[in-house]
Amino acid sequence: MLCIASTRASANEGMWMPEQIPAQAAELQAMGFTGDAGAFADLTGHPLGAIVSLGGCSASFVSADGLIATNHHCVQGSLQYNSKPGNNLMESGFLAKTRAEELWNGPGSRVYVTVSVRDVTDDVIGALDPQLSDRARFDAVDKRVKELTAACEKRGLRCTVSSFFEGRKWFEIGQMEIQDVRLVYAPAAGIGNFGGEVDNWQWPRHTGDFSFYRAYVSPAGKSAVYSKDNVPYKPKHWLRVSPQGASPGELVFVAGYPGRTARLAPYAEVKRTVEWSLPRTVRRNTDQIDLLTKLSQQDPETGIRVSTRIRGLNNSLTKAKGVVESMHKRGLLAERELREKSLLAWIDAEPGRKTAYGDVLPALNSLVAERVLTAERDALVAEICGGMGSVMGSAQMLYRLSRERPKSDAERDPAFQERDWSRLREGQDRLQRSLDVKADDALLRYSLAEVAKLPAGQRIDVLDQEIGLSATMSAAATGAAIDAFIGKLLAGTQLYQKDVRLARLDMSTAELLATDDSAIKLTAALFPLMEATREKSKQHSGSLYRLGPRYAEALLAHSGGAVAPDANGTLRVTYGRVMGVPASEGIPNPSQTTLQGIVDKASGTSPFNAPEAELAAIKALRAGKQTPYFDPKLNDVPVDFLSTVDTTGGNSGSATLNGKGELVGFLFDGTYDTVASDYLFDPVRTRSIHVDTRYMLWTMAEVDGATNLIEEIAGGPAAADAPPAAR
């Protein structure tokens, strides 16, 4: 068990590993739960057997035929992939009335079903020679992780070996990987993204953030690439969709795959994030959104290609602003510092603790200080070499693969092992729908202008030589040199052609260089610098493998209570109540919103452009049309609700369950003033935002006519899927 005691530090804090939930049974019972808390520790049973990952978002099976429910914003890649000028599904939405009409998400789309979790701590860090250098320690751990992964994948699974509690614990996670995923239904943007960036991270919300995929497998029931011969996957478990939704005060659980938190991170690391990383994100995201938005307005096709990138930039921008504001204005950064001082005082208070842990935090702080020295330079090198969705990113991948392929699999970088070659090919195939020369031109120009501003001692010599830059050049001369360089670079590459990229995946390094491609040549010139950065990262990781476990041991001993590990993309369960935030200055903040709020906000223009069909359906409801999704207490159909559950990015699309294990909503956001809970949990104000299943069902029935899907999910789970409370 990963807790020190059975008490909780805070009422709803904790993105718990499933195996930790049984220890919370007493608190759950006090909150009114009458089911079996142990059921949440069974990954292959109900309800967790129905919870899946989309590789960045969470989701759940909701029918016997592999129907998957998630957030609307989690299917944007599929909508973008299937859109074109004149038929922009990101705006109009999509509904398949038959299985034959369902749209393939494109190469690289995945659904992951977790089927096994095994403690492999001793296998990863057990019996390591304490005299190993940090670099050698990295190699030893890397070797063991690769061996464990390879052995696990012999079972036909996709496996990862992940660290928890700063490397104190390690778990091997096996997942079934479904490769054929298809779009079934997504409402129009005026529903699925109602409020857009104006309402993003805000409450009250009136967003119908839900959509559906379907998982397909071979006729033999095995994971297979897309084929017309594939059939719907038959999950062992799926969730019953509740037509009653969630009510104020009700106990709810959220099960999903949260991305990353840093609540256990040392103060120096958090301080660096708040004072450098996040402000940099705010500045650069603001600038890049402006650049890409202007390009989108000039060219509709470019607009489709960069749409998901703009949305992602906006989302991270707003969150970064919220974290920085909360950390400073509400004193959370200072509170993090006080907590660490308390830990240091506890360590110093007893000679044995001082011997065991006294050197850990100073050493960790030194690692942070080392990274600060070249932080801006390193970040810019990474952006130039491999910006996501860019031609340079493609060149970087091709060149690194050519250098890694001749090695044995055990010696390769984990991202370039043979297990991932098909994924790399799929990525270069899918890239054709988002790669855009105008976007590359604008973003490269922006990044190189930042490179030109680097001070002496931080210069990137290779780029100075390639472009003809120096620290003493005038702004006009710098701009002219960058313009000429980018023009030559983009004109001299063939990597905007999909067939060329796919053909070059199989080339040797010498063959790639012989193509005389400008993007490949620049990548090769920058490669030694990138390798030096990667080498420095391995040294840093080796240091953390040595220091992290002792740091976590001190934290856990000092806490005196149960502690959930920081989120790391693995399956977690959290719970709380449907509840609004405390009233502010006498202004009530209810826990639910309704259709009336949509009417009040609807303006006919983005982002409050509620579809005419929806407004007509609301009008019909007001005129007396009956619906089973009407809530008499609200005198309306509910839309969204707040709860006290503890979540973060990656939880998007997570199933919100009631005490009977029924689906009552989908987690899709947090609130702006408490996004800093990724670094310090606020037990009073932290809230998560969910869309109510009643709004989803009402929209499907009354707005989009998705009766085929309502009938499918109304079938409910089989007897074996009886919810925990019914057992």
The residue with tokens 């129009």 is 188
> Cβ distance 112 to 177 under 8 Å?
yes
Q: Are 340 and 262 in contact (CB under 8 A)?
A: no
Which residues lie below 8 Å from residue 215, measured CB to CB, with a gap of 6+?
61, 66, 68, 111, 178, 180, 181, 232, 233, 235
**What is the DSSP code (8-state) at residue 566?**
P
186 phi/psi in degrees, rounded to 5? -145, 125
Alpha-carbon gap, residue 363 to 551, rounded angstroms? 10
State yes or no: is 73 an active-site residue. yes
Catalytic residue among 199, 209, 440, 678: 209
Q: How far apart (Å, rounded) are the C-alpha atoms in residues 124 and 206?
A: 47
Phi, psi of 447 (to 5 degrees): -65, -40
Q: Using an 8 Å Cβ cutoff, are 336 and 269 in contact? A: no
Is 652 known to be catalytic? yes
Q: Is the alpha carbon torsion for 410, 413, 414, 415 positive or negative?
A: negative
Out of 211, 447, 652, 677, pick the active-site residue.
652
Task: Report the distance separating Cα 388 and Cα 439, nearest Å.
Answer: 11
Among 233, 238, 175, 263, CA closest to 49: 238
- Alpha carbon distance 704, 40 (integer Å): 35
Residue type, 502: L
Tell me the CA distances in angstroms from 685 to 242, 563, 644, 682, 688, one per residue in order: 28, 20, 8, 6, 10
Type and span of the H or E element at 271: helix 267-272
- CA gap 323, 25 in Å, rounded: 33
Residue 304: both structure tokens together: 């489709």
Whether the CB-CB separation of 324 and 279 falls below 8 Å is answered with: yes
Cβ neighbours around 529 below 10 Å, total: 18
The active-site residue, picked from 46, 72, 73, 237, is 73
Q: Which residue has tokens 């973008």?
A: 80
**Closest-CA residue to 677 (of 371, 336, 403):** 336
Q: For residues 711 and 67, what is the distance between their CA atoms, to the nearest angstrom?
A: 12
638-643 and 688-692 strand pairing: antiparallel
Q: Which residues are catalytic?
A: 73, 209, 652
